[in-house]
Structure 1
């Protein structure tokens, strides 16, 4: 690769040559010098008499103009005539025709100042420009009408033209260009805003504070948004409007991420000190986003503006991290981040609470004897993630960006149980990792047209090795995903109010599932590959004066293997009824070809028992969703009131992807779920104090037509959810207190009257016939930042989850124990009181 100085050296002759003709637009030059330069450029000769051009001066015409355009330009400026003989010789003579010329001046309507270089466009395609006085001349014999335009002004068309003793005076009205308007700033906390397209935008570097959070963790933060929940407190099990976690699309700099959580989902894999912009779409996402029937979470770590060199390092009671950005030149920089768990060195109270939640905070009760089974486990656990970005600008129009990310979790657990002097033990190893890379090239052809090309790859691997000591049996499970492709996106600004985007995407996804068992021996390895193509068309209209914003698009998918086409329209419509009240309509149709299933529900590995699979268009159908929502927003005097009603339906789901732990656990059938709900947010800001209250209602039902109970509540239904927070931010001190409350998730009870303890066989009531107890939690967080005289910044933070130490049940199911040959009732609980402390230094 060329060094920056070498690049500048190569471009230097080009700029010197360009300078010969690219003179100051307002600077006049001797006419003879101008025609000599034109002769050299176009390899022709002018014929004239010296007295004809003596003393003449005018601005140099642009080098990019054709020869005929230059001659018309010179004729306008000098009132001379030019006879072109075969583009080889040009005769210059004075006009004998004394017919009056059509002349005019172009001014700005606001300041009445002349507009230089305004475009005068004739019907035959000829264009001329006004001089520094806004003056122009036309031959009236060739003109019936003409247009007048200039960037930043409303164009005019002049239809009544005739020569007159007085020149025309044309006044152009300034055009108001709408910037990317933020519909509501500081939603829930500083650094979080809501855009006109209905998406939520998080700026981690501007992030304030939320209850229980001391860092701007993207996936923890999004759970504060109405309609977004996690029933088991995991960022690896985020449910948006009733959908499962795998139905969400997570993108990091254009790379699809198949792993989103460390430590069994209690920590996000995305370094909170790295991301510059996080966009979250619950509905109405852009047509450029595919492979998702629920939400879209797009994380970009490319800064919007140039930033200075920086370095920071931090530590909390789970992990330590470093971040650095270094500008290699004025046009290139490198950015690195790395994070690693500290569990190899110390077991903090936070770490212990997390492990209790994942493994030990599970009460397993013998259903007949009503007492706990004695389980013990020893464990080794660690994780890390790292990212690299290299960005290089080439000239003034091109930029190349390389992004790399690596994520890994490793766990070793030895588990044993003793009951009636019978001992059973298992030795387990689990490894989960995700690698990704993206190379993008962006070119700004001009201020109105841009092209971006991405080439990406994402590789995911889940490896489980389970050894049962008593049975002398080994079980190896492996799930790998290889996702790669490229996409092209073109952006065109047609007018200040209207823009148009189009593009193409190619994607190849290969998924391999392996199972190997010893004693008895069994081996199975299945690999499936799916290739898809997509054409995208999208238009956006935005008018500040009429308070109307419209974005409509369509995505046309083609799946090679199935030879199937599908059309996915998207819509975002917003109208401002007044300056304070707006109404918004969002709608979308989307599809998804890959999903996660659960083969062995009773594994204690948590979400990692989920395996990615690809649709086969029969027993594993393509998932399709349709959703519409209507939102009303009121914002005035630091009050914010936001109400949104939505309807969502997802077809093509299979029972093994829904996490059933009842009679449907081993049933394989397809169906859909249907959600109808309301999301409400009210917020008030008073000086440094911000408080908000949110409420979500949803009615979420499954429909499996081939099952004996075709309709029943969804596993992820939370009928009522309430959240409240009070936040105070002043100078460098921030503190937040808040609470979460939700009705219990559905569960299936056992039919005790039909169970015989001597021959235990599970008999269930109707699926999801009852609910767990309510979930209630109070959280607190605070941070303080200070800076030394030499510019070094320090930041300390404290958070406490579940201050009241409430015991919240998050799941309950039954199983038959092979150890005791009895029915066990398994209850899982949320985190108990969990403190965390952080410290960070930034240069």
Structure 2
């Protein structure tokens, strides 16, 4: 037995010696060839920055495992071989102090694939990028932090001190939730106004610099600088975009539909310009999530960009005083309160006087039967306020809750009187207008690629008009009320850094009540209607910065419950960078609208036009539907910007009572359409510290009412040609702007004769809109200066002058039967006279 064991031992020793001897007889080969063989055998990748070309050794046996082969190589060479997940092998010198370098692999959280060309930056401002395998190696900085970033991913910061020596770390970058919108043009018209690749204009009041006549970013005044946007009577409550009426625009404030948009006869907007909000303006190609509009969309968001920063500011100008307050109430929540109040209760400033004169006194009335002017004198009392509240709360890492409230109120009391040939007439008008709304938003980030947003909102609008006249002691009372309740659900799915899909559902219930009462002759009328609509939305968004292509396609499926009717609304936004400097854009949309404003008995209010909201009944008040397409070319190079946009737009289902006719169509109830074809051009040059621009707009806009003769004639809001321009100077904290605007006059309808039968006074008209008013010309100026105290308190002083040359521009002309003489009166209204305004603001 002992002999048997000894023989086995001797045999084993003999075989070992033979093996060693045989191995020593194998030739040595280059290390580079060995690792290539291992890569092929085990499907791994070696990464190294050291010189291995001069290292030769006997290759390890192929039957050994990967780990055994690496141990063998490490023993036979001067290198460390670090195995990363059996995929990557990092080679480094043993003699090198490993604590002086940092290496890692960067992966995407979406598909766990390596990220190439990720940016790695140390605290010492050293930069490198990752290779095709996501690998990088960098010297450790004196300071301990490195930053890893890449487009489409959230930036990540790593503390070097938390990484063990000799470790090659694995870094996973989370995809960044983004709307895939790329700013393609900076500083359009002014600093703080940009244009997106989806065709929308973005206004950021906190970054807004200055525009002629404006010293703060009044939302609806600022947007009138954009080509294609205009107000024919200088009112922000009567904005016309590509021939559309004001009610055909959708105004949203934090998701709440606003039915009142102006203060002070529409001369300033109802939205506080001092909130840190963003305004998105779509003339065409709007998202399928926007409904109830056949013209433009104006979406205002007041969610603060800086979550933790507390802010307090207050300001005053010659119309109103305002305040703004934002306070973080915890690490995850803040509240925001802002308000404005007119100062006209306490002080009648020159600005207030000019505004009032524009509304009431800038009117020339001629009685043709008496061949004399009729002078109306007015006493007035007016005030307004707006107030907003926001609560923002983070609920854990994935949820956000936002509550928004807004209240807008205007009160007007005007007593007017006039006398002709000892005949006396007086009238007392009282108007109260208010809009109150709220929106509760819940956002849930399910994971890095999926997000849900739920909005529950309401908007309550009411206007009450009370008129008392001396003739017959007549009292007319009118009331219009709108209650809009909405539920919106949005789902966003980010499939990759280039492509996303959005879907959602919207429900709207709109109720409208109209009440009319007259004491003499006795009359009572009350109507109430409710409309419920459902909408399913589907969108896809693609953006590729390499091919310079981005497009958004969407479709909105509307179902109107009351009419059992379906309406499909496709949307398109396509943008292609033909070259580095030349860009092509195509926008198209199909939209519908179930609400509109009608103008009823406007002459009863002595020039104070009163519009009332009504709902479609699918017959005498049709559903309005629009089609629009636009082709846009833009060129940008060496601070030059040239933009040319051609468009076609058609809106069906309009009613004559919604168009503001003051001729033979005023009391008709007919339906039709209008078609607009036009061109908008912008030429801009930035020469520091100057920004100079010139814009031109042309359009041809005609009505078509089949039941009226003639069926086709010019639109009431037609302005065939408009040219505007500005020169803006900005240096340090001083800004100054001078600009001008010229436009062809609006259409008017003239009477065939200027006298009427005293017993049966009726005006006989020529064809509708047979004549043009004189052209409009205005020069505006503004300047601001900002400075800061030693205690970091900021001050801002502003001065503006509207209509510097005090030109008397006629903006409307119509004819009516005089209550005093039964003769024909010609009524002309004129634009704002030279109007100065001074503002002062302080930010703590």
Q: TM-score range by the shorter chain?
A: 0.7 to 0.9
Partners of 1:393 and 1:549 lie apart in 2 by 32
Report 1:161-176 matches (<5 A). Answer: 171=133
Alignment deviations for residues 121-180 of structure 1 (CA, whole Å, 9 cap, x no partner): xxxxxxxxxx99533379xxxxxxxxx973489959xxxxxxxxxxxx983699864964
Question: Which residue of structure 2 aligns with residue 574 of structure 1?
Answer: 575
- Does residue 487 of structure 2 align to residue 537 of structure 1? no
Instruction: Rate the CA distance shift 1:213–1:599 in 2: closer, same or farther, 3 A.
Output: same
User: Residue 152 of structure 1 contacts residue 176 of structure 1 at CA under 8 Å; is this kept in 2?
Assistant: no
Partners of 2:112 and 2:679 lie apart in 1 by 43
Question: Which residue of structure 1 aligns with residue 349 of structure 2?
Answer: 348
Instruction: Rate the CA distance shift 1:308–1:521 in 2: closer, same or farther, 3 A.
Output: same
Question: Which residue of structure 2 aligns with residue 636 of structure 1?
Answer: 637
Alignment deviations for residues 675-714 of structure 1 (CA, whole Å, 9 cap, x no partner): 0000000000001100000000000000001101100000
Alignment deviations for residues 765-792 of structure 1 (CA, whole Å, 9 cap, x no partner): 1100110000000000000000000011
Question: Which residue of structure 1 aligns with residue 230 of structure 2?
Answer: 229
Instruction: Rate the CA distance shift 1:110–1:458 in 2: closer, same or farther, 3 A.
Output: farther
* Segment drifting more, 362-371 vs 434-443: 362-371
Question: Which residue of structure 1 aligns with residue 713 of structure 2?
Answer: 712
Using the TM superposition, give the Cα deviation of residue 406 of structure 1 relative to its aligned residue in structure 2, in angstroms: 0.2
User: Residue 673 of structure 1 contacts residue 714 of structure 1 at CA under 8 Å; is this kept in 2?
Assistant: yes
Partners of 1:678 and 1:635 lie apart in 2 by 19
Alignment deviations for residues 527-560 of structure 1 (CA, whole Å, 9 cap, x no partner): 0000000000000011000000010000000011
Instruction: Rate the CA distance shift 1:588–1:786 in 2: closer, same or farther, 3 A.
Output: same
Using the TM superposition, give the Cα deviation of residue 563 of structure 1 relative to its aligned residue in structure 2, in angstroms: 0.4
Alignment deviations for residues 398-440 of structure 1 (CA, whole Å, 9 cap, x no partner): 1100000000000111111111111111122110000000000
Aligned-partner SS, 1:350: helix
User: Residue 599 of structure 2 contacts residue 609 of structure 2 at CA under 8 Å; is this kept in 1?
Assistant: no
Instruction: Rate the CA distance shift 1:184–1:512 in 2: closer, same or farther, 3 A.
Output: same
Q: Structure 1: which 5+ residue stretches go unaligned?
A: 1-99, 112-130, 139-147, 157-168
Partners of 1:107 and 1:723 lie apart in 2 by 64
Partners of 1:107 and 1:820 lie apart in 2 by 102
Partners of 2:403 and 2:455 lie apart in 1 by 10
Using the TM superposition, give the Cα deviation of residue 604 of structure 1 relative to its aligned residue in structure 2, in angstroms: 3.6
Question: Which residue of structure 1 aligns with residue 86 of structure 2?
Answer: 136
User: Residue 102 of structure 1 contacts residue 137 of structure 1 at CA under 8 Å; is this kept in 2?
Assistant: no
Alignment deviations for residues 368-403 of structure 1 (CA, whole Å, 9 cap, x no partner): 333211211111100000000000001111110000
Question: Which residue of structure 2 aligns with residue 749 of structure 1?
Answer: 750
Question: Which residue of structure 1 aligns with residue 108 of structure 2?
Answer: 150
- Does residue 135 of structure 2 align to residue 185 of structure 1? no
Length, aligned pairs only: 707
Question: Which residue of structure 2 aligns with residue 56 of structure 1?
Answer: none
Instruction: Rate the CA distance shift 1:171–1:842 in 2: closer, same or farther, 3 A.
Output: closer
Partners of 2:357 and 2:273 lie apart in 1 by 25
Aligned-partner SS, 2:220: helix
Report 1:433-452 matches (<5 A). Answer: 433-452=434-453
User: Residue 784 of structure 2 contacts residue 796 of structure 2 at CA under 8 Å; is this kept in 1?
Assistant: yes
Aligned-partner SS, 1:471: helix
User: Residue 468 of structure 2 contacts residue 476 of structure 2 at CA under 8 Å; is this kept in 1?
Assistant: yes
Partners of 1:749 and 1:109 lie apart in 2 by 88
Question: Which residue of structure 2 aligns with residue 763 of structure 1?
Answer: 764
Instruction: Rate the CA distance shift 1:426–1:132 in 2: closer, same or farther, 3 A.
Output: farther
Aligned-partner SS, 1:198: coil
Using the TM superposition, give the Cα deviation of residue 595 of structure 1 relative to its aligned residue in structure 2, in angstroms: 0.2
Partners of 1:516 and 1:210 lie apart in 2 by 46
Question: Which residue of structure 2 aligns with residue 796 of structure 1?
Answer: 797
Instruction: Rate the CA distance shift 1:496–1:685 in 2: closer, same or farther, 3 A.
Output: same
Partners of 1:638 and 1:428 lie apart in 2 by 53
Partners of 2:520 and 2:151 lie apart in 1 by 76
Partners of 2:746 and 2:301 lie apart in 1 by 34
Question: Which residue of structure 2 aligns with residue 92 of structure 1?
Answer: none
Using the TM superposition, give the Cα deviation of residue 608 of structure 1 relative to its aligned residue in structure 2, in angstroms: 4.9
Partners of 2:461 and 2:294 lie apart in 1 by 21
Partners of 1:418 and 1:500 lie apart in 2 by 67
Partners of 2:700 and 2:298 lie apart in 1 by 24
Alignment deviations for residues 441-473 of structure 1 (CA, whole Å, 9 cap, x no partner): 001111211110000000000000111133122
Question: Which residue of structure 2 aligns with residue 519 of structure 1?
Answer: 520
Partners of 2:461 and 2:729 lie apart in 1 by 41
Question: Which residue of structure 2 aligns with residue 331 of structure 1?
Answer: 332
Aligned-partner SS, 1:533: strand
Instruction: Rate the CA distance shift 1:133–1:408 in 2: closer, same or farther, 3 A.
Output: farther
Partners of 1:607 and 1:103 lie apart in 2 by 85
Alignment deviations for residues 216-244 of structure 1 (CA, whole Å, 9 cap, x no partner): 00100000000000000000000000000
Aligned-partner SS, 1:333: strand
Partners of 1:758 and 1:559 lie apart in 2 by 49
Partners of 1:190 and 1:790 lie apart in 2 by 27
Question: Which residue of structure 1 aligns with residue 465 of structure 2?
Answer: 464
Aligned-partner SS, 2:290: coil
Question: Which residue of structure 1 aligns with residue 505 of structure 2?
Answer: 504
Using the TM superposition, give the Cα deviation of residue 489 of structure 1 relative to its aligned residue in structure 2, in angstroms: 0.3
User: Residue 105 of structure 1 contacts residue 134 of structure 1 at CA under 8 Å; is this kept in 2?
Assistant: no
Alignment deviations for residues 629-657 of structure 1 (CA, whole Å, 9 cap, x no partner): 00000011100000000000000000000
TM-score (norm 1): 0.81
- Does residue 216 of structure 2 align to residue 215 of structure 1? yes
Report 1:344-493 matches (<5 A). Answer: 344-493=345-494
User: Residue 264 of structure 1 contacts residue 606 of structure 1 at CA under 8 Å; is this kept in 2?
Assistant: no
Alignment deviations for residues 558-614 of structure 1 (CA, whole Å, 9 cap, x no partner): 011000011000000010000100100000000000000011131446565100000
Question: Which residue of structure 2 aligns with residue 656 of structure 1?
Answer: 657
Alignment deviations for residues 312-359 of structure 1 (CA, whole Å, 9 cap, x no partner): 000000000000000011110000001000000010000000000101
Partners of 2:49 and 2:692 lie apart in 1 by 43
Aligned-partner SS, 1:223: helix
Aligned-partner SS, 1:236: coil
Instruction: Rate the CA distance shift 1:790–1:454 in 2: closer, same or farther, 3 A.
Output: same
Instruction: Rate the CA distance shift 1:372–1:754 in 2: closer, same or farther, 3 A.
Output: closer
* Segment drifting more, 177-186 vs 439-448: 177-186
Partners of 2:49 and 2:425 lie apart in 1 by 86
Partners of 2:509 and 2:676 lie apart in 1 by 31
Report 1:678-757 matches (<5 A). Answer: 678-752=679-753
User: Residue 108 of structure 1 contacts residue 172 of structure 1 at CA under 8 Å; is this kept in 2?
Assistant: no
Partners of 1:468 and 1:671 lie apart in 2 by 36
Partners of 1:228 and 1:239 lie apart in 2 by 6
Partners of 2:645 and 2:814 lie apart in 1 by 34
TM-score (norm 2): 0.81
Instruction: Rate the CA distance shift 1:691–1:423 in 2: closer, same or farther, 3 A.
Output: same
Report 1:90-169 matches (<5 A). Answer: 103-105=42-44, 133-136=83-86, 150-151=108-109, 155=113
User: Residue 204 of structure 1 contacts residue 277 of structure 1 at CA under 8 Å; is this kept in 2?
Assistant: yes
- Does residue 257 of structure 2 align to residue 295 of structure 1? no
Instruction: Rate the CA distance shift 1:109–1:553 in 2: closer, same or farther, 3 A.
Output: farther
Instruction: Rate the CA distance shift 1:416–1:606 in 2: closer, same or farther, 3 A.
Output: closer
What is the root-mean-square deviation in Å for CA atoms of aligned residues? 2.5
Partners of 1:691 and 1:101 lie apart in 2 by 64
User: Residue 109 of structure 1 contacts residue 172 of structure 1 at CA under 8 Å; is this kept in 2?
Assistant: no
Using the TM superposition, give the Cα deviation of residue 101 of structure 1 relative to its aligned residue in structure 2, in angstroms: 12
